Amino acid sequence: MKLAESIAAYVLYKQSGGLRYNQAERHFWRFSKHVGDTTISEITTQQVASYLRDPVNNSANWHANYLRLQKFFFYWTCRGEMMSLLMPPRPKRSRLTYCPYIYSLNEIHRILEATESSQARANCLVDARTLRTYLILLYATGARPCEVLDLRKGDVDLKRSLLTISNRRFSRSREVPIGDELRTLLSNFVDDKSTGEAQDHPFFADKAGKFIEPSQLTYSFGRLRKIANVGTLDKNATQPRLLDFKPTFAVHRIRAWILEGASLNRMLPALATYLGQSGLGATDKYLDLTPERFSDHIAILSPKDVNWLCNPDTPSK
């Protein structure tokens, strides 16, 4: 079997399971271009190692591309199209500790206000209204960016105020209730957008009516963030990402519950379920990012300087 044929068949197999697999497909075609017109059974370990050394496989995606190729070869080995291929040595992956960026309410407002100027150019594939509604839904539900991008019209039940959010990674879904304000916002968005009647049509579509690519949205958000002047001054630090809206949602909810005097023993399991997580410690990482949790200890040490805890957006005097 030719390599090109095996790639097309493998991508179709993955997509039939509900995955878009667009980014991985581009990776496989780059690999095909690198090794040339050959059969899958003739691929060697040296060719794989040569491809992985290519500068296009930077440190950020090297391990992901390595695992994709490993699973691809295993798939065709099990089907008798090639002999078992010895993969090149895989260096030990260093795990970096990343602290998520928690947006303030002021920063979120600035980001939303800047969507018009950010998407004003004619070559922007996503219009300002779509990007703004997407970001609001991202923050209001704590869903992952790809989970919101994957929403189809049939997943948004405005009559029952429910969203059916699917998880790509684990092939499962959950129902997320939404409030009246968010339901009204989404209802107005649907009324103003010609998103088609088909239930499998994307809820958030680009100007061509197709699903928005994650990489495309990441680029747009990077431009939007700079216009809104949101980020860190440290050039070596990771700048705020779309993924950081999830921990921001969680921290803001925990902060509100603490100020209201709610029982965290009761609310944290509910938060974990809402976010699609499981386990008693699923929300511990968000609790550690909430300064209000330590307000009593700070009050003992410095009772005059704790007013900022009630409103973290208010600068200290």
- pLDDT per residue over 272-307, tens digit each? 888 888 766 777 788 878 776 655 544 544 444 444
56 in any annotated domain: yes
CA of residue 15 relative to chain centroid, distance: 19
Q: 292: closest CA among 255, 248, 240?
A: 255
CB of 150 closer than 8 Å to CB of 158: no
Quote the domain boundaries for residue 20.
3-78
Distance CA 260, CA 257 (A): 5
- How far apart (Å, rounded) are the C-alpha atoms in residues 242 and 248? 10
Asked if residue 262 belongs to a domain, the reply is no
Number of residues that make up the chain: 317
Q: Give domain status of residue 34, yes or no.
A: yes
Is there a domain that residue 275 lies in?
Answer: no
Q: Averaged over 62-85, what is the pLDDT?
A: 92
Please give the pLDDT value at position 180. 94
Lowest mean pLDDT among 107-116, 137-146, 160-169, 179-188: 160-169
CB atoms within 10 A of CB 150: 23
> How confident is the model at residue 294, as a pLDDT?
57
- Whether 278 is in a domain gets the answer no
* Separation of alpha carbons 289 and 295, rounded Å: 13
Q: What tens digit of pLDDT does each residue of 92-138 get?
A: 766 656 688 999 999 999 999 999 999 998 889 999 999 999 999 99
Query: Is residue 159 over pLDDT 50?
Result: yes
What is the count of structural domains for the chain? 1
DSSP secondary structure letters along 111-176: HHHTHHHHT-STT-SS-HHHHHHHHHHHHHH---HHHHHT-BGGGEETTTTEEEEEETTTTEEEEE
User: pLDDT at residue 61 above 90?
Assistant: no
Residue at 24 is within a domain: yes
What phi and psi, each to the nearest 5 degrees, are found at residue 283?
Answer: -105, 5
The alpha carbon dihedral of 253, 259, 262, 264 has a sign of positive
